[in-house]
Amino acid sequence: MFEYGIMPPAMFLGMIIFMLYGFPVAFSLSAVGLFFGLLGIATGHFDFGFMQALPLRIFGIVSNDLLLAIPFFTFMGAVLERCGLAEDLLEGTGKLFGAIPGGLAYAVILVGAILGAITGTVAASVITMGVISLPIMLKYGYNPRLATGVIAASGTITQVIPPSLVLIVLADQLGRSVGDMYLGAIGPSILQVVIFLLFILAMSIFRPQDVPALPPEARGEMNMALVGRVLWGMVPSIVLIFLVLGTIFMGLATPTEAGALGVVGAMVLAALHGRLTWDLIRQGMHSTMTITSMVVFILVGATCFSLVFQGMDGGLWIEYLLKHVPGGVVGFLIFVNIFIFFLAFFLDFFEIAFIVLPMLAPVASALGIDLIWFGVLLCVNMQTSFMHPPFGFALFYLRSIAPKTVKTRDIYIGAIPWLGMQLILVAIIIFWPQSVTYWLDKAPDVDLNTIKIEVPGFGNGLGNGGNNNQMPNFGLPSLDGIPGQGGNQPGQPAQPGQQAPGLPGMPNFGEPPKINP
């Protein structure tokens, strides 16, 4: 525990105490980092010059082009959230699936996945779907626990489905490509949606009274007008998603450029729905500024903390502890996921990514774990932070808009099955890594022992089957002599004006230069 002294665990404990006390995370990290930085200088762990790296690190944060993708994708989601697209999708899809048991729940899951891909924020998805779907589900006999659980869980899919802000942050912290992180998240996001749909299917078979079908007067007549309305809300959104992600996957645009393209597409989409106004843009910019400022301040605080923590040999201390976890790689993964799961009770995903991930990534790399796979695994685990009773943010959002007839106890109990399904996905990714790595581009397997490099020769013409000790021949004339000399014997003096054999027109360097007036 104290192989590297008492300072690393004391610093880690100090950070936890500050956060539990309720101080803002960004300022808690900075305060702990600066305090222990002064303590480290006083105790001789490092000199003052070590702390001079802090301004350079902060400048590296604010000049990081990759982080520009965060405000772009946030603004894109804010515009799409406020343009009424979600309402159209939920209303149309709910009527489309309303005739079958669990139809409203199916609609919430599918629309939650689409909203997750176009808005990128859990709060927007949960609040929007809760306001529209929850009263209807309760009115027509859905179990309150199941109704609140499916809405909260469908909102958290946002964290895994590209282009998620969490994946951008994880890619930055792990030093990996955002495009690869997005590709790795495709499989788990599809699996998460399928697991949720299968759960609703099981409920409709074994407990149909909890997920009844909508009566005909509620769902209306099934006709092409309804199908067209659903397609009008869904197809342009899907086109925008593929436009943004496709340019990243094909290498046509960086994540920052794709985010800017997404902003333009979102504004066009809002204009097509007749809802693009200056007030909408102002609200979107305000939301974007708030989230981006929060991320940057947390990142600056985490940088201050991590610099001093590394100076105290904290990285070596963490690596020593985790490498001695029994069970090898599997034991490390189980421990890390349990640790993240419980840490998510108290910390947001940004805080976990900026504080904990830089400590875990070197150990994972040393154990030979693919960091893209590791990042996606932690992303799936961190989405549980929104579903933890009683601290899950998705549950708070849902409580704020749920009718008074829905008890808080029902919201918490209803979240537990969905939390279990998220943990099932964590286990699937651990024991089936191909669910992540299958989508990644793989370089062709090459056996280096079979590679043979043959270089054509030059020199005395012996490279084409001659003495292998001689230099090979590129078809050039013999260079045995010095240019301008006879070339019969090396070093033999040449007669004035004599040309080297085989080199007609070459100047004679054996004579002094002539200057013509």
For residue 4, being part of any structural domain is answered with no
Per-residue pLDDT at 447 = 54
**Counting Cβ atoms within 10 Å, is residue 48 exposed (0-12), middle (13-18) or buried (19+)?**
exposed
Q: What is the residue whose two structure tokens read 């939920």?
A: 90
For residue 127, being part of any structural domain is answered with yes
Residue 516, pLDDT > 50, answer yes
Mean pLDDT over 347-352 rounds to: 74
Q: What percent of the chain stands above pLDDT 70?
A: 79
For residue 224, being part of any structural domain is answered with yes
For residue 466, being part of any structural domain is answered with no
- Among 198-202, 261-265, 479-483, 484-488, which range has the highest average pLDDT? 198-202
Alpha-carbon gap, residue 362 to 385, rounded angstroms: 24
The number of distinct structural domains making up the chain is 1
Residue 407, pLDDT > 90, answer no
Alpha-carbon gap, residue 399 to 492, rounded angstroms: 100
CB 487 within 8 A of CB 501: yes
Alpha-carbon gap, residue 440 to 179, rounded angstroms: 9
What's the CA dihedral at 96, 101, 104, 105 to 10 degrees?
A: -130
Mean pLDDT of all residues belonging to the chain: 77
Q: What is the residue whose two structure tokens read 């792990």?
A: 174
Residue 318, pLDDT > 60, answer yes
Mean pLDDT over 344-358 rounds to: 76
Cα angle 140-141-143, degrees, rounded to a multiple of 5: 135
For residue 16, being part of any structural domain is answered with no
Q: Which of 227-236, 341-350, 465-474 has the lowest mean pLDDT?
A: 465-474
CB 271 within 8 A of CB 245: no
**Per residue in 413-462, pLDDT tens?**
888 899 899 989 999 998 888 888 887 755 445 555 666 665 554 444 44
**180: containing domain:** 65-438
For residue 328, being part of any structural domain is answered with yes
Q: 324: how many CB neighbours lie within 10 A of its CB?
A: 10
Task: Give the pTM.
Answer: 0.71
Q: 223 pLDDT band (50/70/90 cuts)?
A: low
**Per residue in 258-293, pLDDT tens?**
888 888 888 888 888 777 888 888 988 888 888 888
Measured over the CA atoms of residue 468, residue 471, residue 473 and residue 474, the dihedral's sign is: positive
**Per residue in 67-98, pLDDT tens?**
788 888 888 877 877 776 767 677 777 777 77
Q: Regarding predicted confidence, which is higher, 216 or 373?
A: 373
Q: What is the residue whose two structure tokens read 């859905």?
A: 142
Alpha-carbon gap, residue 406 to 399, rounded angstroms: 8
Q: Regarding predicted confidence, which is higher, 103 or 215?
A: 103
Mean pLDDT over 299-327 rounds to: 79
For residue 152, being part of any structural domain is answered with yes
CB 245 within 8 A of CB 258: yes
For residue 56, being part of any structural domain is answered with no
Instruction: Give the 3-state secondary structure of residue 339.
Output: helix
**Per residue in 132-149, pLDDT tens?**
778 888 888 888 889 888
Instruction: Give the 3-state secondary structure of residue 19.
Output: helix
Q: 204: how many CB neighbours lie within 10 A of its CB?
A: 19
Mean pLDDT over 195-207 rounds to: 92
